[in-house]
Structures are given as C-alpha cells and as structure tokens.
C-alpha cells in the first residue's frame, strides 16, 4: 500500500501552523517538543517536500506549499472527527462536540432560548460557539475549524449545504426627540436625509439593511460605524443619529432606560434570511437538521414565517 501521513502527523502540522511555535504546539498536542518535531520531519520525508522553514527556535514560517497543505490537513482532521461523531450519532442524535459558528447580529438574539432547550433535550451534546463575521464563519467552515454555521442571506455560500430558517426585516431606532420620531413609519427618503449610524464594513447586516431600504450611497449620510448593534443603539440614545437594526434585536437592545423610539419602515422589504450552513461532505447532516429544527421551534419575536406571519 502507498505510505500515507498519519492523523497524528497532520495534527502536529496544523497545530504548528496555528501557533507558529514548536514549544506551544507540543504543549497543545500533549507531547514533547522533540516528539512533535520528529513527527513533522517524518511527514516532510514522506511527502518529499519542506513544509516549515525553521529560521530559529522562536521563529517558524510555513512554506507556500506548507500553507496549502495545512488547509487540506484541517479538512481531513475535521472529516475524521465528524466520522466519529456520526458513528456515535447513529445510535443517539446530537451527542458529543458540535462547533457552531454564528454571526454577531444573530447570536445574542436567537441562541439564548435555543441553548436552554438544547441542554434539556440533549444533555450529551457539547455545543461550542464561535462568533465571527460571515466571511470568517465560512472560512472556518471550509477549514474544518467549525462544524456548521448560522448566517444571514443573501451571501455567497458556494457549494455549502444551505437550509433557510426564516426571514426578517429591519426597523429604525431614533432618539426620542428626533424630528422624525413623531411619524409612525419612516420612508426611504426620510432615511436618506438623516445621519445614519451603521455597523462597520464586513458585517453583512449593514449591506442587507441598506439594500432593503434602497439606500444606494450609504457613506453620503453615514455618521458613525460600530462593531455591534448594542453600541449603535447606545449612540442613538446619545442623540448622535439614527440606526437600522433587525427586528429580532429590539427586545434585547432597546430598553426603557434609553431615550429612543422604534419605527417601522413604510417601504420595508425583507432584509435577510437566516440559514444553517455546513459542508456537504460532513456526515453529521442529520444532526445539523435537528439543530435547525430546534432553532425554528424556538424563534425570537419579529421573524417572518412562511406565509408572511410574524412571530409575537
């Protein structure tokens, strides 16, 4: 048979790539530094290439080919772990470790209720959450750092398996003394004429909200960029401008202590759809469907279900 790398060697390679330090990588792999270094050298000999440039004891640099193989190694390790998990799940669904990537504009508003249900319904499930922007969630998924992701569409997902969950629109949050606060709804023209406080570039909600409100040149009237919806609402409460947030965020981010009001948009279009995504080769598709079912059975308020009905 053709000699093949071992999973242990691939684990050593990936850990060195993540730490760029042989000593730290050895600690994470629970082996001595000499054992890890020997494993990497054996892998290089087997493949007939140099994966790592050992410039000094402290400085480790991967070769271009080494970087490419690290990504393949991550995927192999992730598939192997998923194979073991799938074998366990064959008898009992949603057991063992499951790593879920979620974007910041979804996690705080959707997951708390679901996590509580998951703990009661599947006590043997260990759910690990990783909060990142959408592009990073998809990168982590491709690299095998997470098992599945909870993101918002539209977004290019390539060949991933995609299960859409529900749709939601956006609302405007204004200072209570803002001239537009007396209106029951705001038009696209109202928003175009006011100073907007928006999430920084990289957050897909920024683009979804602007597209839903037909705002084509956001930077012409954009006063501030934030990293979270909570910060945006706080800035609105300080009188700095107006912002757009998903309807599901109202109950968490808008409270009676803030001098703000929430207004619907007269020409509101659906801003985004929430979706569960995973790699098609992952054998735990049944588990991901069960997790999606659990999320749909415990929705936050304000989402649009099939038929256009909104949850209370």
User: Any idea what the CATH number is for the domain that residue 241 is in?
Assistant: 3.40.190.10
Tokens of 205: 């909600």
* Collapsed DSSP state (helix, strand, coil) of residue 261: strand
Q: Block means of pLDDT (10 residues each) for the chain, length 312 residues?
A: 89 91 90 92 92 75 90 86 70 82 92 90 91 92 89 92 91 92 89 83 78 62 71 90 89 87 82 91 86 90 61 58
Neighbours of 304 (CB within 10 A): 16
Is residue 308, in this structure, part of any structural domain at all? no
User: Rounded to whole angstroms, how far apart are CA atoms 122 and 230?
Assistant: 31
User: Rounded to whole angstroms, how far apart are CA atoms 109 and 113?
Assistant: 9
Residues 156 and 175 in one domain: no
Residues 258 and 188 in one domain: yes
pLDDT score, position 39: 93
pLDDT score, position 54: 76
At which residue do the structure tokens 């803002």 appear?
Answer: 178
Beta strands in 154-220 (DSSP E): 161-168, 170-175, 185-186, 196-199
* Collapsed DSSP state (helix, strand, coil) of residue 128: strand
Q: ∠ CA 272-276-282 to the nearest 5 degrees?
A: 150
141-168 per-residue burial string, b: 16 or more CB within 10 A, e: under 16: bbbbbbbbbbbbbebebeebbbbebbbb
Tokens of 50: 């140099």
Is residue 86, in this structure, part of any structural domain at all? no
Residues 114 and 49 in one domain: no
Residues 29 and 155 in one domain: no
pLDDT score, position 221: 47
pLDDT score, position 301: 74
Neighbours of 87 (CB within 10 A): 11
Terminal Cα distance for the chain, rounded? 62
Domain of 234?
170-265
228-242 per-residue burial string, b: 16 or more CB within 10 A, e: under 16: ebebbbbbbbeeebb
Residues 204 and 248 in one domain: yes
What is the model's pTM?
0.71
User: Rounded to whole angstroms, how far apart are CA atoms 225 and 241?
Assistant: 11
Say if residues 146 and 77 touch (Cβ distance below 8 Å).
no
Domain count, the chain: 3
User: Any idea what the CATH number is for the domain that residue 58 is in?
Assistant: 1.10.10.10
Residues 137 and 277 in one domain: yes
């Amino acid at each position: 048979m053709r000699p093949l790398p071992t999973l242990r060697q691939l684990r050593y390679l990936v850990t060195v790539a993540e730490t760029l330090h042989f000593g730290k990588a050895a600690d994470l792999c629970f082996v001595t530094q000499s054992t890890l270094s020997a494993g990497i050298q054996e892998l290089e000999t087997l493949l007939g290439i140099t994966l790592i440039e050992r410039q000094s004891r402290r400085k480790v640099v991967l070769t271009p080919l080494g970087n490419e193989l690290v990504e393949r190694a991550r995927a192999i390790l992730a598939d192997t772990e998923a194979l073991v998990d799938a074998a366990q799940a064959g008898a009992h669904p949603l057991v063992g470790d499951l790593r879920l990537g979620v974007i910041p504009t979804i996690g705080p508003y959707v997951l708390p209720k679901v996590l509580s249900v998951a703990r009661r319904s599947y006590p043997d499930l260990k759910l690990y959450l990783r909060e990142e922007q959408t592009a990073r969630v998809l990168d982590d998924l491709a690299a095998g750092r997470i098992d599945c992701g909870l993101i918002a569409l539209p977004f290019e997902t390539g060949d991933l398996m995609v299960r859409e969950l529900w749709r939601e629109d956006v609302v405007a949050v204004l200072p209570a003394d803002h001239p537009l606060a007396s209106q029951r709804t705001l038009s696209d023209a109202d928003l175009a004429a006011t100073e907007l406080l928006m999430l920084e570039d990289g957050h897909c909600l920024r683009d979804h909200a602007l597209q839903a409100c037909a705002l084509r040149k956001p930077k012409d009237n954009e006063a501030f960029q934030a990293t979270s919806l909570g910060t945006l609402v706080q800035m609105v409460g300080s009188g700095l401008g107006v912002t757009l947030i998903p309807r599901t965020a109202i109950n968490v981010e808008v409270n009676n202590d803030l001098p703000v009001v929430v207004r619907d948009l007269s020409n509101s279009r659906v801003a985004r759809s929430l979706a569960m995504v995973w790699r098609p080769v992952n054998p735990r598709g049944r588990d991901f469907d069960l997790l999606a079912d659990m999320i749909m059975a415990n929705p936050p308020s304000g989402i649009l279900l099939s038929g256009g009905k909104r949850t209370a």
